[in-house]
Structure 1
């Protein structure tokens, strides 16, 4: 297998077609695909990617985005750490999901698509977990295959250290040509030309500004894979952008997608999960870590809202108490409607989540209440703009939050995905804008939810960008 690299310009990727042609599946035989999220993320991050595959003929039951219960890597892979997974545990979770999915679909092999740390589990599974016979294609978006840093003196046991034992073993040559990938699986990597925060020669984004990482922009590439470069995409956009989807579709099928965009459905049904945040200690102010565990007992209420003001249009359209499995729904939705999701759980802020309309059905509408840090607890109101599938780069993107452009906290270099403001005054509309996507919500001034003795710890508005 030889190493190949293709450069995809914005909006054009015809050169990739000839380079990566593989056996083309028929419309009746789309290969099942398993999607693996990255460090600290959840299955919901694949929402738009699944919509794009569905829009191009993939049956919904042949697309599986998995949730790793504890999605964050340990600081030292060999040492147990509360609320985090080892590389072996990560790989084991993926292996179990693949086996179950193969049994459910009756297929002999799956395609694996991963972002960031998810690619480590994929590579480990194929190399060490028996996955080579069960996987036809692998696509790794932004996986730091040669480390986020490669320094034996800095966190030497971390998964993300290219000089550490985990990545050195994964990257050891597999054949006389020095390939780093295991055959007969077909491999593709997708990376940014220079805009991935975890493939940088300087340690700015890992808290070591001015110190070399010993990693290059090409760190995600693998010898023996088709290595695709998409200019200016950030770390997450290597997996979740339209250009990344175009490359994925061509690699799997050998042809361009017939529907480059997301095709709306006439009937939209939404489902999802309510998850929480683990505590670093018994004190909520001391810090939290993400997990994908259910949050039973949480109250979820959904309202249709005016897209221009964020005002509720009548009573709740859906309400339920979350059970032991964490699942919510189903909820019939209008594809052009906007909704406010309100989730309340003891120990959390009452969280009001505003989203763009849902053009298609999904079972990946994850809702997670916020915990307010100490700095926000005295604020009259708190609002957060968040972009789960990409970053906020003032040198590249057109964006504003609550009239401020760039949004507070957004930094050049696509390394920050959230912005936070503390509005004053009475309740009012608040707007998040990003490259044409516009989400309108409402501020929620403190109404006593922070009062000692109540189960709630404040209120917060979250304006979540979908694209």
Structure 2
């Protein structure tokens, strides 16, 4: 042992050796820290006679897929029974969307909407300045070209959802109504609420059909839920 090392006590030598090992092994194995951007916030918009609870299974799936709870919000529209025009619901969607953007600091959000909620969302995006706020839009069983089932009642929103209504003609007047938003249209050919079922189609949308026996079951279908999570899982635009 050299004279210099004999000057150290056994305890001091152990500390010195451990410190040298920590430096050497740390330099060799410490990985570079990579920051992953958080997923885009998602706004969920329900339909007629629905509540945010309609999305309970889908919300669980998004959390399991890695979305923080604070980046997921299901809006509660009121009244939810079609007794107010769709434009009234659209203003509520706008308020919920702006609240979600403010809370998360996101420039653009994703929107998942069901049934009448797809029309409320579209009116916000197309007519109330929401288009630049949305990155991706998933429409689930939306009556974009009307439904004959809307003749069953004369409530304002139902009248607007009748085929060839003034409201729908205006909403669909443009060839590319949603601009640069990435659009997905999911629907079932067995739908007895959106009649005809292919009224759910949207120009330019990535389209998928699912063999789901009822309109309302689309939101609890594992296949639809999985497809929705997959559609929104790409990294958010900075």
Q: TM-score range by the shorter chain?
A: 0.7 to 0.9
Tell me if the contact between 1:156 and 1:164 (Cα under 8 Å) persists in the aligned partners.
no
Aligned to 2:197, what secondary structure does the other structure show? coil
Query: Relative contact order, CA 8 A, sep 6+: which one is greater?
Result: 2
- Residue 66 of structure 2: aligned partner: 57
Aligned to 2:207, what secondary structure does the other structure show? strand
Structure showing greater radius of gyration is 2
Structure 2, unmatched stretches of 5+, are: 1-34
State yes or no: 1:169 paired with 2:178.
Answer: no
Inter-partner Cα distance in structure 2 for 1:115 and 1:137 = 14
- Residue 197 of structure 2: aligned partner: 217
- Residue 64 of structure 1 and its aligned partner are, at CA, apart by 0.3
Runs (4+) of structure 1 exceeding 3 A deviation are 154-157
Aligned to 1:133, what secondary structure does the other structure show? helix
Match for residue 46 of structure 2 among 15, 20, 37: 37
The alignment's TM-score, normalised by the length of structure 1, stands at 0.40
- Residue 106 of structure 2: aligned partner: 107
Q: Flag the 1:116–1:150 CA change in 2: closer, same or farther, 3 A.
A: closer
Aligned to 1:253, what secondary structure does the other structure show? coil
- Residue 151 of structure 1 and its aligned partner are, at CA, apart by 9.7
1:97-130 Cα deviation digits (max 9, x unpaired)? 1111111110101101011110011110111010
- Residue 186 of structure 1: aligned partner: 182
Inter-partner Cα distance in structure 2 for 1:96 and 1:217 = 30
Q: Flag the 1:150–1:38 CA change in 2: closer, same or farther, 3 A.
A: closer
Inter-partner Cα distance in structure 2 for 1:169 and 1:150 = 20
- Residue 93 of structure 1 and its aligned partner are, at CA, apart by 0.4
Q: Flag the 1:132–1:100 CA change in 2: closer, same or farther, 3 A.
A: same
Inter-partner Cα distance in structure 2 for 1:196 and 1:49 = 20
Tell me if the contact between 2:84 and 2:155 (Cα under 8 Å) persists in the aligned partners.
no
Q: Report the number of matched residues.
A: 198
- Residue 155 of structure 1 and its aligned partner are, at CA, apart by 5.5
Tell me if the contact between 2:41 and 2:72 (Cα under 8 Å) persists in the aligned partners.
yes
1:358-405 Cα deviation digits (max 9, x unpaired)? xxxxxxxxxxxxxxxxxxxxxxxxxxxxxxxxxxxxxxxxxxxxxxxx
Q: Flag the 1:27–1:249 CA change in 2: closer, same or farther, 3 A.
A: farther
The alignment's TM-score, normalised by the length of structure 2, stands at 0.77
Higher strand share: 1
Structure 1, unmatched stretches of 5+, are: 1-25, 74-83, 201-215, 256-467
- Residue 457 of structure 1: aligned partner: none
1:413-450 Cα deviation digits (max 9, x unpaired)? xxxxxxxxxxxxxxxxxxxxxxxxxxxxxxxxxxxxxx
- Residue 310 of structure 1: aligned partner: none
- Residue 135 of structure 1: aligned partner: 134
